[in-house]
Amino acid sequence: MEILRDDELLKITFDEDKKLIWTEWKPESFKAVLSKDEIKQINKQIADYIIEYNPDYYLADQRQRGVVYTIDLQEYIAKVLVDAVEQANVKKTAIVMPADYIVRLSNEQTIDEIDSDYEYDYFNDFDKAWNYLFNE
């Protein structure tokens, strides 16, 4: 597994064997004060990795995400990530929902912004998301 980013906010890995891009927010993100530009930059980086590594699967583990996506960011994030997933022709995407109610609500609203024929499935349980992606 190749680590593409690993800092106090987020870990991004690529698993060559599974053809998987996996993003995992860290608990420290609850303490982070990020500008809109920083949030855009993080999501653009994820999108760039999806395009560069061309995975078959994308797993967004947002259980520990503390960053709230405001309404104006939701549309940007949905667009940049959807464009990347479609350009890379990702077969399946699974989103593990945040635990925090407000963050979760912003996540659900972001998902509602997605205008695509691709399926973006979201889960409350990590194992169910993993099983969905890999039929395990």
Q: What is the DSSP string of the chain?
A: -EEEEESSSEEEEEETTTTEEEEEE-GGGGT----HHHHHHHHHHHHHHHHHH--SEEEEE-TT------HHHHHHHHHHHHHHHHHHT-SEEEEEPPSSHHHHHHHHHHHHT---SS-EEEES-HHHHHHHHH--
Question: pLDDT class for 25, splitting at 50, 70, 90?
Answer: very high
CB 76 within 8 A of CB 109: no
- CATH code, domain carrying 76: 3.30.750.24
Alpha-carbon gap, residue 89 to 80, rounded angstroms = 14
- Segment 92-100 shows an average pLDDT of 83
Q: Please count the structural domains in the chain.
A: 1
Q: Is the pLDDT of residue 107 over 60?
A: no
Alpha-carbon gap, residue 22 to 72, rounded angstroms = 25
Q: Is the pLDDT of residue 118 over 70?
A: no
What pLDDT is attached to residue 29?
A: 84
In which domain, by residue range, is 87 found? 2-134
What pLDDT is attached to residue 47?
A: 98
| Count of CB atoms situated within 10 Å of the CB of 37 | 8
Whole-prediction pTM value?
0.86
CB 80 within 8 A of CB 50: no
Q: Is the pLDDT of residue 117 over 70?
A: no
Q: Tokens for 109?
A: 């609203």
